[in-house]
Every structure is written in C-alpha cells, then in structure tokens.
Amino acid sequence: MARLTPDNVEIALEIIGRYPRPKSALIPLLHLAQEQDGHVTDEAMAHIAELVGVSAAEVLGTASFYEMFKFEPVGRYMVNICTNISCQLMGGEELLEHAEHTLGIRPGQTTADGLFTIEDVECIAACTEAPCLQVNYRYFHRITNEEFDQLVADLRAGARNDIPAHGTLARVRQRIPVDRRAGVVTPEDTAQPVWLAGSQEAKS
Amino acid sequence: MSSTEVPRIITSRFDFDDSHTLARYEATGGYGALRKAIAMDPAAVAEEVRSASLLGRGGAGFPAGVKWGLAPAEVWPRYLVVNGDESEPGTYKDRLLMERDPHQLIEGVLLACYAIGCGQAFLYVRGEMALAQERIAAALNEAYAAGYVGRNILGSSFSVDVVLTWGAGAYIVGEETALIESLEGNRGMPRLKPPFFPAAKGLYMQPTIVNNVETLSNLPWIIDNGGAAFAALGAETSRGTRMFAVSGHVKNPGVFEVEYGVTTFRDLIYSPQYAGGIRDDNAIKAFIPGGASAPWFFEEHLDLPLEKVTVDRAGSMLGSGAIVVMDETTDAVKACLRVVRFFARESCGKCTPCREGTTWLEKILRRILDGYGRPSDLALLMDVCDNISPGIAWPPKQTTICPLGPSAVSPIASAIERFRDEFEARITQADENRTSVPVAFPKAVSHV
Amino acid sequence: MSDTEAPAVDGVVVEINGHEVVARKGELLIDAAERAGTYIPRFCYHERMKPVGMCRMCLVEVDSGRGPALQPSCMIECTPGMKVDTESEITKKAQDGVLEFLLLNHPLDCPVCDKGGECPLQDQTMAYGPGESRMVEEKRHKEKPIPISELVLLDRERCILCDRCTRFAKEVAGDPLIHFIHRGNNTEVNTFPDEPFASYFSGNTVQICPVGALTASTYRFKARPWDLETTESTCQGCSFGCRISIDSSRDQIQRFSGVDIDPVNWGWLCDKGRFSSEAVNAAGRLGEPLLRTASGLAPARWSEALAAAAAALSAADPAAIGVIGGARLTNEDAYAWSKLFKGVLGTDNVDAQLGDGLPAEALLGLPRTTIDDLCAPGGTVVLLGPDPKEELPVLFLRLRHAVENDGVTLLEISPRRSGISSLAAVSLQPRPGETGELLRALTAGTEADRDIAGIPVDRVNAMRALLAAAAGPVKVVLGRSSVGESEAVTLDATSVLLAARPDTVFLPAVRRANIHGALDMGLAPGLLPGRVGLDAARDWFGSRWPSVPAARGLDTTGILTAAAAGRLEVLVLLGADPLADFPDARLAERAIAGVRTIISVDTLLNTTSERAHIVLAAAGFAEKAGTTTNLEGRVSTLSQRVTPPGTARPDWVLATELASRLGADLGFASPAEILAEISAVVPSHLGLTADLLAQAPDGLVLPIGATSGLPAPVAFTPTPAVPAPPVDAYAFRLVATRKLYDQGTIVQAGPHLSGLAAGTSVRVNPYDFDRIGVAAGGTVSVRSPQATLVMPIHADAGVPRGTAAVVVNQAEHRVAELMNVGDVICELLIETTS
Ligand SMILES: Cc1cc2nc3c(=O)[nH]c(=O)nc-3n(C[C@H](O)[C@H](O)[C@H](O)COP(=O)(O)O)c2cc1C
Ligand code: SF4
Ligand code: FES
C-alpha cells in the first residue's frame, strides 16, 4: 500500500482544513503517510502533492529536510541514542557502541529480522537524564548497558505494547469538534477580531 | 527534580501525577486567568504582561510584552505561533511543561491571543516528542469540549482555534522564521531579518508573534497575580522565575525553577537542593551556561548570578536555560567536536559560510582527534570561524542569515582559547606517531 | 524596469564608497551600486527573481545609523543616509571567505566544464580568490551529470546551491519540478524520482546557473567560450520576438541565449526557441536548387532553376498564380517578394497565413497594445486566443508574472482548459461556435439568467462582473484558439466586445515567427505594404511601384480551392507546408494534386515541397541580415552569423533574380537598400532607418512618426453574428489546438527537440465516457463528414463535456483531415472500432 488509504485521506482532508493554506499540512500529512507504511513512499508523496496542490518535488523537498522521515523501510523499532554533549559526558557514545554490539548493526542500519534500526542522534531534550534514548520516540532515561539489553529482549519478546510500531507519532489526535470550531483565519480575513472592538488597543 | 522556597510559578503542578489533566488543572485554579482576562479589555491584559517584564525564554530573552507591541497596528489577521521545538543541546524544560502541564500552556496561548488579537494559534511541537503531543492533543480535546478553546470561549465573543502541529526533526526549525517556513509546509530555512521580522511579516506574511512554551506558560500566573507580583520577583533586568536544566558531570542533574537573576551558577551547580556538586567531587573544568550555542564559562564565572545582562556582559548567554557541566576529566577536543558536529549536522544549508564552514570545522576537528592534526590547524580553525563570525566576538557578528552558523564558533573559540595545550598535545602526538598523512588528504591543490 | 532612466523625485541618497549615489525608492543596494559603477559580486542574486540572500557573496559593510555591519546587498533596500563600504577590509575578508567556502567542495574540472571561460565562480576566483585550497580533506562526491530532463543535465558536485534554477522553476515558470532536497551540507538540487524537469522553460536554468552545474544536452562539450563569436538577434521560434544572442564557432551555430530586454523577454527563452539553434545546422538543409525529373527531384544549377521558375511565372495568367507563406522571412525578404508578385507580376493571390490565423484586416486593423501595456499593473486582460504556453511561451511568462506579481486580472475564454487557466481569475470554456454568444452575455447590460454556450450562468456572471469592473481599457490577446472552429466565430466575438467597449485594445496572437512582418509587407490579399488596402494605397504605390494589382485576390483557402478545381497554374510556397499546416488536409491534398507548377522556396524539404516541381534553396535564420517584426509591431534586427549551406540564397536575392528574368528591376541590391526603400515607401514604416534601429537595441514599435497625409490604414470591419449551430446530443464538437512541440520544421530539424512532440489522441471529458462505451486508453473511431480516423482516446477533465480535443500537426494521426474549412464547427461521432 502506498497511496493514502481512504480512511487516511479522510484524516488528511480534516487536517488540511485546519490550516489557512493547504501546504501547511504537508508535514502532518507526511507523518500520516509514515504512520501508514512505516516509511514515506514515493507514491504517498505524490498523493500528498495532489491533496495539497503542490508538485511532488516540493513534497520531497520538504520531506527530505526533516530527520524523522524515512524513505526506505526501517526497523519496527527505531532506537535513537543521543550522543550530544550532555549524553556524551555521561556515556552516550559508549551506550551507542554497546547497542551496536548487541544488535550487530551500525547507526543507520536495520537488523536482519527487520526489528531494529539504530541512529546516533542529536539532543532529544532529556539532558538531565543522560544517557538517554528513544524507541520510536518514547523516552528511556539514564540507561545502562544491562537495561538496554533488557529493553531489546523485551521488544523482541513483544512485551512492550506501550511502544507502537515505527511511524506512529501520537496515539491521541487532536479533534476539533465541528460545533466548537472557531474556523481557519486566512490572510484574506482582514477584519479586526470582534473581541477587540472597542478595546483601547484598537482605538490607539 | 526539586525546588524549594522560591515561588513555583510554572512548575507548581509538577508534583501531581495527573498534572496534565483538565480535572487537576481546574482543581488548582486553572483557567481562572482566562475567565478573568475575558472580563478585561484586551489592551489591559497586554499591559499586565508588559508590566511583568517577562523576558522570552526561548533563547534570545526579548521582553514578551514589547514583542507583542511590535505587530503593526490595524493589520489583520495576526497569528500566534508557539515555539515548542526545544532542541538546543542541554535544554530540557519546554518538554516538561508540555508533558506535565499542557493546560497551563494552552491557557497561556489563549491569554496571548486574546490580548494581541490573534485570529488563530499554532502550537508547533518538536516531532520527536510523542508524549508531549499526546498530552497536548488530549488537553486540547478536553479544553475544546469544556468551552475553553474554539468558538465563543466561555460564552464571550472571543473565538480562536488552537491547532496542534508537529515538527519532524530539524533543530533549525526552532529559529522563529524557520519555524514559520516549516509551518507553511516548507523546508525550515530561516528568513532574513530584516525584512522578515515575524511581528511584521511572519506566517503567510502576516504579523505573527512567536513565543516560547515556557514564556507563555507564565501568563496564567501573571494574569492571576498581576504583572507587578511577577516583576517583584527576580533581579532588575530578569524578573520572575525561570527553569534551568543542569546536566553533565553533576551529582544531581535536574531541572529547577529558580528565582531569575538571583541564584548564582555556583548555587545551582553545587547547592544540595539543586545539582549537588560535581560528580566524585572532581574539579570543574568548564560549563556551558545557556545551551550549546553559548560560549563556555569556567571556574571564575561560578559566582555570577543567573541574570541576563550580567551573563551577556561576561561574554556568554543564559540562552535557553541549559547548563552543561564538564569536570576535569573531560576531553576538551572531543567535547568541542561533539558540539560542532551538532551545528554542522543541523545547518539548514542556506548560507554558504554555515553550510560549508561548519562541516569543514567538523572535519578539521575530527582529523585532529584522529591524530592527523597539523600545527597550522589551530590557526586555520580560528580563521574559518572568523569567516563565519567576523571578529569572533560576543555577541557574535555573522556572515550568515541566522545565528546557527556563528554558534559553531562558540565551542571552538572557547575551547581553543582555554585548552590550547590539549589541542596542541593531540597535534604533537600526531607528529610523533605518524610518519605521513593518509592519502585521503592530498597536498594543497590549486583552484584555477 | 529601465536601467538607464535617471531616478526622479523619490530618489534616496546613499553613500557608496564615499560617493553620493541617488537610488530609486525601494531599490536594492546591489542594483543601486551597480548603476553607480560599483559591481558587487554575487551568485544567488538575479535581477529578474526575488532575492534570497543565500550565497552571502554580496556582503558589504552597511551603516544605517547604528554602526557598520555586514549585510547582503541583494536583500537590503537603500534607505536615506545609508553609508556603504564595498571595499573595506571586513568586506573583502567576508567575500574571500565565502569564495573559499564555495570552492571547498567544487570540483576542479574547469578544463572540461562547459562553463569554463564564462563562469562567474571561476572569474571571481581569478579576480579575488585564494590560489590554493586550505581544505585537505576529501571533497563531497556525487554521481556525475544526471539528466533531469531531455534537454538539461545536472552535475551536483559543481552546484553551489544558489537557488537560481529552483527559484526560476517555481517563481518564473511555475513548474516547480526541481527542488532542493536533503539538508545542510547534503543539500542538492534534484527532481522527484521519475518525474523529470519537463518544463518548456528548462533551458533558462542552464543560462542562469552561475557555475557549470546545469548544462544543455545540445551544447555539451561543443565549444569553448573563447572560440565563440557572438551576435545579437531576434528569435524566430514564434512571433513574440525574444531577443537572443547567437554564439557560433567555425561557421557553426553553437547555441542561443536569452538577452534581457525590458519590453519583451526579460532574458528568458522557451526551449523551442533556445534549442532551435539546432535547426540551423540541420541535416537535410538544402544547399542547391532542385528540379523535378522523371525520377524525382534532382539537383540543378541555379540558372536552370531560376529560368524554370521565371518561365512558369511569366507563362501564367496573374490570376492563376498563388503565393502562400512568408512568415519565416525577414521583412526585407517579404518586401522583395511582395514587390515582385504584387508590383511586377500583378497577382494579389498572396497570403502569408495558412488558413489557421485571422484575416489580415483584423490583425492589422484592430487597435493594438504592446506587451508591456498588456502586462501593466492592475489591468484586465482577456485571453481570446490560443494557449500562450503552447504557442507563445514567453508571453505566458510575462502574463504569469503580471498576474502573480502585478495584480493583473486574467479572464480566459478558451475551448478547453489551457496551460494558463490556473492563473485566470475566471476561465470559461464556451461550446465551439458559441463564443460570440458568450461575449454578448458578458457585455450585456444585465446579468445572464441562463446558462450560455454550455457554461453555468453563475460562471458567466462571475466573468461579466470582473469585465464590468475593469478599470481602463480591456486588453485582449486575440487569436485562433481552435482551428476546429471557423475564424468567423472569433471575429464575431471580437466585434461584440469592441462594440460594447470601444476602447478595447488587442495584442494579435498568431504565432509564426515573422507573420506580422510579412503582413506589414503586404503578403496578404487586398493589402499593400504598410498596413494599407489596395484601393486606399493605389495612388501611393502606383507612383512608387511598377504596378498595383487591379483587384483583391484570394487568401490561402481561396488559392487552395482554386488549385483543387484546376484553376491555378503556379503555386509558390514561401517556406510554407500547406499539407501539414492547412486545417483542411483533404482540400490541401486536392490542391497540391491539381496545380500545374509548384515552386517551393525553402531551407528544407517538407511534405509539400517534396511534391514541388522547382525547389529554390533558401538561406535561413542567422544566415542573412535583416529585420523582423513581432506581434506588437516591434521591429528589431536579425543578424547574420554563419554562411548558408552550399549555394543557398536569401529570399530577397531570389526575388530580384526572378524579377530580372521577368524583365523588371526591383531596385535594390542589399538588405540595407531594401530597408532604405521600406523606410521611404511603406506608409507604416516611414522613417524607420537603419541608423534609428542601430540606436534602439530593444527595437522600435511602429509607427514611429506622424501618419497624416498617408494612405488610410486598414481598419477592422465588425462582422455579422454567426448563428450558433444547434446542439447535437450525439456528436462531439471538435477542438483542435497546438502544442509547442509538433511536426513543424524547427522541432523536427533538431535532434534534441524532435522526440518531444508527443503525438495526439482524442481527449474527452471523463463524464462523456459512458456514452462512448470505451475505457480511457482504448481506441476509437473518430468520424467527421470528411474523414474517419482511428485514434486512442483519453480522459481529460480540462475538456468540456460534449467536445473532443485533438492536437494538430502531430505524427501519425492527421487530424486536419477531419475538418472542412468552410464549416463553423466540426462535429464528430466517436464510436467503438469493432
Ligand atoms: C538556531 C536557533 C534555534 C532556536 N531554537 C529555539 C527553540 O528550540 N525553542 C525556542 O523557543 N526558541 C528557539 N530559538 C529562539 C527563537 O528564534 C525565538 O527567539 C523564540 O522562540 C521566541 O520566543 P520567546 O520570545 O518567547 O523566547 C532559536 C533560535 C535560533 C537562532
Ligand atoms: S546560518 Fe546556517 S542554519 Fe542559519 S540560515 Fe544560514 S545556513 Fe541556515
Ligand atoms: S547575491 Fe546576495 S546573498 Fe547571494
């Protein structure tokens, strides 16, 4: 499957409808595509291009700028080990090395069983909890080598259903109820907001 | 994490397990400020924030109230964009605020929209923060259902949609104009300021206020307690409280909300109620006072207060409140390379000096670390830095559009100035151990 | 934008390197400095695109009151009192630094790089740069040139990421098919996988690339800049008249490049025009005359060929001579032929058009506008003609800019959605044959209350409101949008509009290169040179020419009809190919079969000239000097750059030689002498001297002087309404349009362009499929009263229901066979082939 499924098209159209310009929905839609297929396929990008009214090259231009989008299949679990300064000081590089040994792969590679990909990543905002890592963007703080091995074993055993497959960004989505929507405000909506009428700022 | 007698303005709910729920938020006075504000004139709300002298917490430290006033009068629509892209190495506080108290942030967003007259708000959360997104999504869903967000908020004429949007992994998108580009669906490449100051020409070229998560999280308290109460805390030029993350070689790394401008680095790093001193009681070698972009500080800076102007004058910055401590065992060359690698990897690629220069710096440093350094390399490193940030001064001058490129200069200038002997040792070692340079490094080549 | 105008009242005084400079309000520092003689180096900045400030090469020290700081001069506007130092130590250090950074990863392959010798990066390096690289590490490596289209290759190692090509693609051409991908030091320009940079404007990126990253497949490794000789000329790819420079070496054309002139092309070219350079050197160029023998056309001596032609012409009754073509000639050639045929031989059966344009009286007689005026900010433009992207591509670029940047409102009336529809405020597709009715509704005093010409009433009223709201005169791009419909329909619509809004002005949009010059020179029935009618100018020319035809002659349709009926003795083709181009292929076929002697004057053999009896080898573009006239009436110069093949001769020489064999002296012996005669004799061209042209590098729009006391110019006569034929629910009305790449000479003579003609199929609206009973992609039989063709069928939402769209002059399917030239519309039955 590569184009967005009808269900996902429905979600996509709803997301597009939240933005004053359709192109603003590009990154959210790329996440949606990655959630669907585990990585972003060419067909999905072409489909997204149609949905937001830009060229496929523009979609690729945006998508390839961002670290999180993968254009080739990756493991079910993306293990991101931080080696940036705070983590480096606390053993992040050693943890990464250990992970390479445990899984038998180098950063950027995927295990033969298709379960794990590891990456040597930049700061993930858990600096006081170094060394730290993420599995599919779920945090693991102050990780020892032993804890790492245990985590791998648990994931292999399917014992961590709190971690969804790669691509799933957030299991809770924003939903704007139709009756509560204030509505998009486009650059063409040049009227002063109603609640400002009579305000001092409006007068000044 | 702990904090003591200082008033907890933004972390007040952090001790509750259910701090992220609407029930807990309402039970602890949440959305009271919104109710209060809606009864006020929007301009009065803005004035309250102005009088609080709340400095932006995203890095640049620009007063929020003043920034709001920069939106050109009578130009509509205006947008609010919340910067939740927290990615500066060492920085860890916006994620906590989003995960633990999303309603506080949402209420802050609403207060800002009300005061500024923003027609729509976009909450841009770093892509890698899945939990923060889930918590904010859930909180927004609750808040919409409860009538706090959306159409006719609390029955008033105030209507605004707050749209949660998420990044996809690019540090540079934390820079406000790059964030706007990203929000427009583009590559996150910064725009030149001037002319593209967001307050005048931002999202879709409309006036746009970009504020940091922590900055906005202060607003409910300010409206509840008054700008004056906020301004009464902290020092002359740094009011209120502020979150600092202390990481690296300390006994008790953590994020602490402290009174701004009063506490010193020594307090924060050594006091038992905060980071508790250097691990193994080692000597401190250096510390980064405000995120990876900041020039390094050393022992002699420990007694400076965590106060914006003082730190600026001393030649660095408090930036994003990220203090990274390195003890005496730290390899300065390695640490320096790691920070430089970060900027090289995260350059958006727009400006030649940043795109090419940071990568080159990384290559040279790696070569030195790998034992292939040449005696001329230190001068070369400094000259390349000079071509990215002329004069290597503070605050940095730049040949680039945004400060990312020049940020790579900070660790190099700091480390070479202070630990030149360590760099030289690597190089001499290289001279002794290597008979020739590897073939990958040809002799100087002619271009023309 | 004019660079020479002195800044007027709202000038801004700035100080550049200690000298006061008056900048225009809002002018960028880099431009103001350049006008004042200080060139600031740059790579990303291009004066025809929005600045991005990426390369940082143009950094200079600027003090706007808060102390000097480095600023990109391409991004900052001049403000009063600004002090600028472009030579300070700090400026120099920054610029040297940027240059060094740019060279770090740039390969040192200048000796084999097409750009070597004309490369801004190389020049900058020689002028300012360090001699040696301080980088000892390995350079970035990428696969060497990758094709990004049929015509353009990209070497990503050489690319300096200036964003020029990508900006051009999106901002100027509107084809964002190349883009930056990846980030930081890994950034590169590329296309989406399997989606090439198939833009009609791709070649411009080669021209504006400041290094050798983008190269043209037509020019790779062909020449070195220092071997090239260069002349300015005017592109003859279409009638828009883009200014070009021609580079040649060793008497071979190597390439064309766009020259930036304000009133026309702004430096841009379309790919057909740019790469038509290959057509000059085409295989098969005629280098000697041919005569028909028992075994076909065979080479002959000029004396034989000319004698044969003269004999045929002198033996024929003037009324039995027909002349078709002339649009590929210079004005001087056209004048020479005009004088020969009309003034010496006395025939008026002369037509430079091929039945696919509009009557000369309309093209010449309607009040005209210029390109600049058409695109002036805030105006309203009505497109009542062909798809500019397909037929006049750089007009498309100008209109696109006008709509996107200058607030021009574009109203499109076309038989199917076109390449410009997305830019139109409203685009309406009337049923073929009913455009006049639509115009009546659009200009009526009250809103329409029903659907018109198949268009929903609210859409009609939407355009009506915009038309009514138009401030100032409405400007119309006028031409034949579909040859499947009679010209009378377009003329009716024009008459309606002109009656309702008498101040309407027109840009005639018929596309063949110098068609407007040919008409100006009188190559149309009923006309004499100077946009004057036979009768009005009879006295004027009576005293200046040997004679003047007695009565109005036949147009191309009339000539071919006469030929088909056996009434034509000699048919002269001036670079024309009626079998390929005339919209009624059956009539053309009967005509060619029915004429006694066909004389073809051409540079190459084509489907018609292959059947000629006498072929005179003509010199072509860049092989002769002269002038040309574009669609706005702008006369500009054409230069000779190479010698013609063999003994091929310019048309004017052939005309004078034939004249002398017919016992007449045309009175000139060089293009310069012809121009002198034109400037003295041709009413619309009086005073247009070579000297004046030499002083006007952008050319001159006619007329240039007073017109009083001259023969009255032709005027457009409003035509009667064409009754809309009744709708036949079973039939499809034919829409026949053109594509940029077709079977025409320019495209087919160049090896790189010829493959781009995509062929044709019949396209109908997706909703019309169920009544045909064939799936899209299948094959159908397409039947008109004239012919039946078997063709593939495709769905196309841009084709309105009830119509069927085809492309003319493509290989394989000769759709011109379907049409009958006299009919208002052409109705088709589309059926399964079984
Ligand atoms: C390279 C760079 C990265 C930045 N990253 C962030 C960031 O991650 N989060 C943030 O809030 N501000 C960041 N900023 C600062 C923003 O540009 C902007 O100043 C800030 O969001 C404004 O909010 P404030 O005024 O509330 O602090 C960054 C700036 C630069 C130059
Ligand atoms: S300095 Fe670097 S990150 Fe900033 S705009 Fe320039 S290239 Fe991009
Ligand atoms: S020319 Fe100004 S930055 Fe490139």
Same domain? For C684 and C819 the reply is: no
Closest residue of chain A to B132, computed from CA coordinates? A170
DSSP assignment of B213-239 equals HHHHHTHHHHHHH-HHHHHTSEETTEE
Task: Indicate the angle between helix axes B102-116 and B130-145, nearest 10 degrees.
Answer: 60
Position A1 confidence tier, pLDDT thresholds 50, 70, 90? low
* pLDDT tens figures, B102-153: 999 999 999 999 999 999 999 999 999 999 999 999 999 999 999 999 999 9
| pLDDT, averaged across chain B | 94
Same domain? For C590 and C630 the reply is: yes
* pLDDT tens figures, C620-630: 999 999 999 99
Same domain? For C598 and C696 the reply is: yes
Say how far apart CA B351 and CA B402 lie, in whole Å: 9
Other beta carbons less than 10 A from residue C376's beta carbon = 17
Same domain? For B195 and B178 the reply is: yes
Say how far apart CA B378 and CA B383 lie, in whole Å: 9
Flag whether pLDDT at C22 surpasses 60.
yes
Residue A27 sits at the chain C interface (C-beta within 8 Å): no
Q: What confidence score (pLDDT) does residue C9 get? A: 57
Ligand nearest to the CA of B401: 2
Q: What confidence score (pLDDT) does residue B1 get? A: 37
How many domains does chain B fold into? Answer: 3
Q: Within a domain: residue B439?
A: no
Q: Given C70, C102, C161, which is nearest B390 (Cβ)?
A: C70
Q: Which of C634, C612, C792 is nearest to C702 (CA)?
A: C634
Q: Which residues contact C475 (CB under 8 A, 6 or more apart)?
A: C369, C373, C374, C379, C380, C381, C382, C504, C505, C506, C507
Q: Within a domain: residue C34?
A: yes
Same domain? For B349 and B307 the reply is: no
Say if residues A15 and A8 touch (Cβ distance below 8 Å): no
Same domain? For B183 and B310 the reply is: no
Say how far apart CA B320 and CA B334 lie, in whole Å: 23
Q: Is C53 in the pocket of ligand 3 (CB under 6 A)?
A: yes
Same domain? For B160 and B110 the reply is: yes
Strands C19-23 and B284-288: unpaired
DSSP assignment of A131-188 equals S-EEETTEEE-S--HHHHHHHHHHHHTT--TTSPPTT---SS-----GGG------TT
Average the pLDDT over C29-34 and give the result. Answer: 97
pTM attached to this predicted model: 0.95
Say how far apart CA C801 and CA C799 lie, in whole Å: 7
Among the four given CATH numbers 3.40.50.10800, 3.90.420.10, 3.40.30.10, 3.40.50.620, the one describing domain A77-156: 3.40.30.10
Same domain? For B28 and B161 the reply is: yes
Q: What confidence score (pLDDT) does residue C770 get? A: 87
Same domain? For C372 and C348 the reply is: no
Strands C12-16 and C83-85: parallel
DSSP assignment of C679-736 equals HHH-GGGTT--HHHHHT-TT-EESP-S--TTSPPBP-PPP-PPPPPPPP-TT-EEEEE
Say how far apart CA B78 and CA B67 lie, in whole Å: 13
Task: Quote the DSSP letter at residue C642.
Answer: S
Q: What is the CATH number of the domain that holds B30?
A: 3.40.50.11540
Task: Quote the DSSP letter at residue C378.
Answer: T
Average the pLDDT over C336-365 and give the result. Answer: 97
Same domain? For C337 and C396 the reply is: no
User: Ligand 1: which residue has its CA nearest to atom 23?
Assistant: B211
State the fold for domain A6-71: Arc Repressor Mutant, subunit A (1.10.10)
Q: Within a domain: residue C451?
A: yes
Q: What confidence score (pLDDT) does residue B438 get? A: 46
Average the pLDDT over C721-729 and give the result. Answer: 88
Same domain? For C746 and C640 the reply is: no
Residues from chain A contacting residue C179 (CB–CB below 8 Å): 55, 57-58, 60-61
Say if residues C161 and C101 touch (Cβ distance below 8 Å): no
Say how far apart CA B367 and CA C137 lie, in whole Å: 9
Those of residues 101-120 in A touching chain B at CB distance below 8 A are none
Residue type, C748: Q
Residue type, B130: A
Say if residues A186 and A20 touch (Cβ distance below 8 Å): yes
Number of Cα atoms under 13 Å in the Cβ half of residue A118: 23
CA–centroid distance for C172 within its chain: 17
Same domain? For C565 and C670 the reply is: yes
Instruction: Say whether A61 and C195 touch across the interface (CB within 8 A).
Output: no
Q: In angstroms, what separates the C-alpha of A98 from chain C's closest C-alpha? A: 28
Q: Within a domain: residue C773?
A: yes
Residue B22: strand, helix, or coil = helix
Average the pLDDT over C755-759 and give the result. Answer: 94
Q: Within a domain: residue B9?
A: no
Say how far apart CA C471 and CA C376 lie, in whole Å: 12
Position C2 confidence tier, pLDDT thresholds 50, 70, 90? very low
Q: What is the CATH number of the domain that holds C769?
A: 2.40.40.20
Flag whether pLDDT at C7 surpasses 60.
no
* pLDDT tens figures, C218-273: 988 788 888 899 999 999 999 999 999 999 999 999 999 999 999 999 999 999 99
Say how far apart CA A86 and CA C169 lie, in whole Å: 44
Same domain? For B312 and B393 the reply is: no
Q: Is the dihedral of CA B165, B168, B173, B174 positive or negative?
A: positive
Say how far apart CA B402 and CA B175 lie, in whole Å: 8
* pLDDT tens figures, C589-646: 999 999 999 999 999 999 999 999 999 999 999 999 999 999 999 999 999 999 999 9
Ligand nearest to the CA of C56: 3
Task: Indicate the angle between helix axes C120-128 and C89-104, nearest 10 degrees.
Answer: 130
Burial degree of C558 (CB within 10 A; 0-12, 13-18, 19+): middle
Average the pLDDT over B241-264 and give the result. Answer: 96
Helix (H) or strand (E) holding C494: helix C487-500
Helix (H) or strand (E) holding C656: helix C651-661
Q: What is the CATH number of the domain that holds C495?
A: 3.40.228.10
Q: What confidence score (pLDDT) does residue A200 get? A: 57
Tokens of C702: 């006619």
Q: What is the CATH number of the domain that holds C81?
A: 3.10.20.740
Same domain? For C310 and C388 the reply is: no
Flag whether pLDDT at B437 surpasses 90.
no
Say how far apart CA C95 and CA B172 lie, in whole Å: 25
- Domain boundary at B327, B362, B380, which? B327
Tokens of A194: 């109603």
Tokens of C96: 């040297």
Q: What confidence score (pLDDT) does residue B7 get? A: 81
Residue type, C622: A
Q: Which residues contact C718 (CB under 8 A, 6 or more apart)?
A: C495, C498, C499
Average the pLDDT over C270-291 and give the result. Answer: 95
Q: Within a domain: residue C167?
A: no
> What range defines the domain where residue C412 resides?
361-508
How many domains does chain C fold into? Answer: 4
Burial degree of A6 (CB within 10 A; 0-12, 13-18, 19+): exposed
Say how far apart CA C430 and CA C438 lie, in whole Å: 7
Q: Which residues contact A65 (CB under 8 A, 6 or more apart)?
A: B170, B187, B188, B348, C181, C182, C183
Same domain? For C619 and C523 the reply is: yes
Q: What confidence score (pLDDT) does residue C775 get? A: 87
Same domain? For C520 and C611 the reply is: yes
Say if residues B279 and B299 touch (Cβ distance below 8 Å): no
Average the pLDDT over B20-39 and give the result. Answer: 98
| pLDDT, averaged across chain C | 95
Q: Within a domain: residue C347?
A: yes
φ/ψ (deg, to 5) at C828: -125, 145
Same domain? For B35 and B60 the reply is: yes
B284 forms beta bridges with B327
Same domain? For C797 and C694 the reply is: no
Residue B283 sits at the chain C interface (C-beta within 8 Å): no
Q: What confidence score (pLDDT) does residue C427 get? A: 98
Strands C614-617 and C290-293: antiparallel
Flag whether pLDDT at A202 surpasses 70.
no
B442 forms beta bridges with none
Average the pLDDT over C664-671 and give the result. Answer: 97
Q: Within a domain: residue C337?
A: yes
Flag whether pLDDT at C693 surpasses 50.
yes
Q: Within a domain: residue B15?
A: no
Say if residues C391 and C740 touch (Cβ distance below 8 Å): yes
Say how far apart CA C356 and CA C191 lie, in whole Å: 38
Same domain? For B316 and B341 the reply is: no
Same domain? For B177 and B246 the reply is: no
Q: Which of C546, C539, C572 is nearest to C343 (CA)?
A: C546
Same domain? For B65 and B199 the reply is: yes
Give the CA angle between residues C405, C407, C410 to the nearest 5°: 110
Say how far apart CA C309 and CA C341 lie, in whole Å: 13
Question: Rg of chain B's alpha carbons, rounded to an integer?
Answer: 23
Instruction: Say whether B447 and C132 touch across the interface (CB within 8 A).
Output: yes
Q: Which of B261, B238, B317, B307 is nearest to B55 (CA)?
A: B238
Same domain? For C369 and C497 the reply is: yes
Flag whether pLDDT at C588 surpasses 90.
yes
Q: What is the CATH number of the domain that holds B316?
A: 3.10.20.600
Residues with CB under 6 A from ligand 2: B 172, 189-190, 347-351, 354-355, 400-402, 404-405
Q: What is the CATH number of the domain that holds C647?
A: 3.40.50.740
Q: Within a domain: residue C444?
A: yes
Position C124 confidence tier, pLDDT thresholds 50, 70, 90? confident
Those of residues 115-174 in A touching chain B at CB distance below 8 A are 122-130, 134, 136-139, 169-174
Same domain? For B175 and B295 the reply is: no
- Domain boundary at B327, B361, B376, which? B327
Instruction: Say whether C184 and B347 touch across the interface (CB within 8 A).
Output: yes
* pLDDT tens figures, C200-212: 999 999 999 999 9
Instruction: Say whether C98 and B400 touch across the interface (CB within 8 A).
Output: no
Residue A60 sits at the chain C interface (C-beta within 8 Å): yes
Say if residues B67 and B209 touch (Cβ distance below 8 Å): yes
Number of Cα atoms under 13 Å in the Cβ half of residue B52: 30
DSSP assignment of C426-447 equals EEE-PPTT-HHHHHHHHTSSS-
Same domain? For B200 and B76 the reply is: yes
> What range defines the domain where residue B361 resides?
332-426
* pLDDT tens figures, C729-749: 899 999 999 999 999 989 999
Q: Given C94, C184, C187, which is nearest B399 (Cβ)?
A: C94
Residues from chain A contacting residue B114 (CB–CB below 8 Å): 195
